Amino acid sequence: MKLYGALASPYVARVVMFADLKGMELPMESAPGGMGSDEYRQINATGKIPALDVDGQIIAESTVICDYLESIQPEPALLPADPMAQAQTRMIARMTDLYIAPHNTPLTRMRGAGARDQAVIDKGAEEFAKGFAYLEQFMGPGPFAAGATPTLGDCALAPFIGMLKRTVFPNFEEVVDPTVGDGRLATWWQALEAHPVCKKNIDAYDVALETFLKWLYEMLAKRSAGK
Ligand SMILES: N[C@@H](CCC(=O)N[C@@H](CS)C(=O)NCC(=O)O)C(=O)O
């Protein structure tokens, strides 16, 4: 079994954290030809990372990969047996994808290009505030996304919050970091930071992301300067 991807992707980081919490070895390889390439589309038609290769059979989509890992190694359970807790952790993963993930790129690219479009920033701030409110309402009793231990939703949301801490919160004061203060997302983040495996994964993702962003910002700055 091997994972195609690169850790700077929050979707890859989701699977890596999930596998690590299970104590599973999951070797990672770059997507042949790069993500989106014709060569890689022969393996994964979407061209996206991550993809899991299981003896030549491919599973795409980060959450489906996590479901597969849960099926082949049920312990420790990262999808709670309790139906409501499982719904809660799944909601956090789904809402991360639907209501948080889409709003990062427009702001990150603007930061890289150096030009500010206030209407885009205000729209982003509005969407993030809504997304954070959804997450806060639908998290379980905690302190993690569902309950007393990390589960799927934590693996999905943590890399995105880590990404926003690098790309958005320090650069756009209009978007308020919900992990600061004493709200539900703040106590959730504190729980992750206090958990050794979660903390290790958050830190490793941050290092990979920092390297990627350095390259991205340089590339965008050159492009906007017409080089
Ligand atoms: N829904 C997918 C999203 C994966 C995704 O968008 N990955 C990005 C990297 S962060 C990608 O591969 N983009 C390349 C492309 O779209 O061609 C999942 O959960 O795995």
The mean pLDDT of 103-128, rounded to a whole number, is: 88
What is the torsion angle, in degrees rounded to the nearest 10, for the CA atoms of residue 185, residue 69, residue 34 and residue 208?
A: 40
Ligand 1 probe mutation, 16, 49, 90, most atoms within 8 A of CB: 49
Is residue 36 in contact with ligand 1, taking CB distance under 6 Å?
A: yes
* Alpha-carbon gap, residue 175 to 227, rounded angstroms: 31
Q: Which distant-in-sequence residues (6+ apart) come within 8 Å of 64 by Cβ?
A: none
Is residue 108 in contact with ligand 1, taking CB distance under 6 Å?
A: no
Is residue 89 in contact with ligand 1, taking CB distance under 6 Å?
A: no
3-state secondary structure at position 23: coil
Give distance in angstroms: CA of 226 to centre of ligand 1: 28
- Is the predicted pLDDT of residue 200 greater than 80, yes or no? yes
Domains of the chain: 2-72 (3.40.30.10), 83-224 (1.20.1050.10)
Is residue 48 in contact with ligand 1, taking CB distance under 6 Å?
A: yes
Ligand 1 probe mutation, 4, 16, 35, most atoms within 8 A of CB: 35
Q: Which helix (H) or strand (E) holds 127?
A: helix 118-138
* Protein residue whose Cα sits closest to atom 12 of ligand 1: 48
Closest listed residue to residue 145, CA positions, set 17, 48, 6, 7:
17
The answer to whether 205 and 7 are in contact (CB under 8 A) is: yes
* Alpha-carbon gap, residue 85 to 19, rounded angstroms: 20
pLDDT digits (tens, 9 = 90+) for 135-186: 999 999 999 999 999 999 999 999 999 999 999 999 999 999 999 999 999 9
| Cα distances (angstroms) measured from residue 137 to each of 30, 86, 185, 200 | 37, 15, 10, 27
- Is the predicted pLDDT of residue 115 greater than 80, yes or no? no
Tell me the torsion sign for CA atoms 42, 44, 46, 49. negative
pLDDT band at residue 114 under the 50/70/90 scheme:
low
| Cα distances (angstroms) measured from residue 214 to each of 47, 102, 166, 219 | 23, 21, 11, 9
Q: What pLDDT was estimated at residue 221? A: 83
Is residue 86 in contact with ligand 1, taking CB distance under 6 Å?
A: no
Instruction: Read off the DSSP letter of residue 117.
Output: -
Q: Which helix (H) or strand (E) holds 74?
A: none
The number of angstroms, rounded, from the C-alpha of 3 to the middle of its chain's C-alpha atoms is: 16
Is residue 9 in contact with ligand 1, taking CB distance under 6 Å?
A: yes
Q: Which helix (H) or strand (E) holds 59?
A: strand 57-60
**For strand 28-29 and strand 51-54, is the pairing parallel, antiparallel, or unpaired?**
unpaired
3-state secondary structure at position 52: strand
- Is the predicted pLDDT of residue 111 greater than 80, yes or no? no
Arithmetic mean of pLDDT over the chain = 96
Q: What whole-number percentage of the chain has pLDDT above 70?
A: 98
Instruction: Name residue, tokens 């992750």.
Output: 192
Instruction: Let me know the angle formed at the C-alpha of 209 by 212 and 185, rounded to the nearest 5 degrees.
Output: 150
The mean pLDDT of 107-113, rounded to a whole number, is: 78
